[in-house]
Structure 1
Amino acid sequence: MTGDVGFLLARTSGLMVRITNAHLADHGLRVRHFSVLSYVCDRDGASQRQIAAYLGLDPSPVVALVDALEARGLIERLPHPGDRRARLVAPTPQGREMRDQARKDVTKARQRFLKHLSPEERDLLLDMLQRLAFTDAGEGTPSDGGDS
């Protein structure tokens, strides 16, 4: 299995998520919550459909993530300016503050996870993962800083 790309990506993802969840625990967040919060903060809001598409999730788990973040006062649902039927998920000031605090711990988790790679290898890995994750989907490379 050590030559199976799918297995290695899944194992690597699982390890990174566990380390990051441990670092986010003091904030009461998990990786998916942080990802949603970061996405809406970086864009000053988004529809739940946009969030689901970007994160590669079915819409139903996104509803639960948004509900949890809204219950904590970190995001709010607002009328969508371009579609009366849709709601815009936007960060609150507390949400922005939480994202900024939590981002520091996400960075620490990433540094811990990648400690055996040189800075050049880290940059190369990030570049390759961005190309694999986004180019084939026709979305291009994300411009949100890569923390989510």
Structure 2
Amino acid sequence: MPFVDNIGFLMSRASGQLVRATNAALAEHGLRVRQYSVLSVVCESATGESQRDLAEVLALDPSQVVALVDDLVRAGLVERRPSPADRRTKLVVPTASGRTVRQQAATGAEARLAAALEPLDADERALLRTMLTKLVFVPV
């Protein structure tokens, strides 16, 4: 199989496997990876995040973020609030329920991720994290 030498193919396959495993864990909380990502970012923010900032952090089109936030608002996990700095901007902030769901979902997601990465020893996982961080956060 000559395509297995293709790094892009391998990264895509690995990503797909990890997303499917994580989605399986998140499903019991009514979430999918992208919704969970939005919820996690806003739960880590002291004041909330604008949808524009969420799109940038998550490398998503702003229209995708609007739909994800709409889903989370309907589920009662986040709210849109006016920004104190700019009343035209809405900040996405977690609700108390959102914080609870995120914490519960994180436990299951982390367990599924650990199981998926089990073929790698601790040093290999650390090296993979380092290499992926370089690829993700170095501008192209």
Q: TM-score, normalised by structure 2?
A: 0.94
Distance 2:25 2:89 in 1: 34
Matched, 1:127 2:130: yes
Higher helix share: 2
Identity of aligned residues (%): 51
Unaligned ranges ≥5, structure 2: none
Distance 2:103 2:8 in 1: 32
Distance 1:115 1:128 in 2: 18
Matched, 1:36 2:22: no
1:107 aligned residue? 110
Distance 1:56 1:129 in 2: 15
Distance 2:95 2:138 in 1: 31
Structure 1 stretches of at least 4 aligned residues deviating more than 3 Å after TM superposition: none
Matched, 1:69 2:69: no
Deviations 1:20-70 (A, max 9, x none): 001111111000010000000111310001111111110111101000001
Deviations 1:121-140 (A, max 9, x none): 11111111111111327xxx
2:86 aligned residue? 83
Q: Of residues 114, 118, 121 in structure 1, which corresponds to 2:121?
A: 118
1:57 aligned residue? 60
Residue aligned with 1:90, SS: strand
Unaligned ranges ≥5, structure 1: 138-148
Q: TM-score, normalised by structure 1?
A: 0.89
1:6 aligned residue? 8
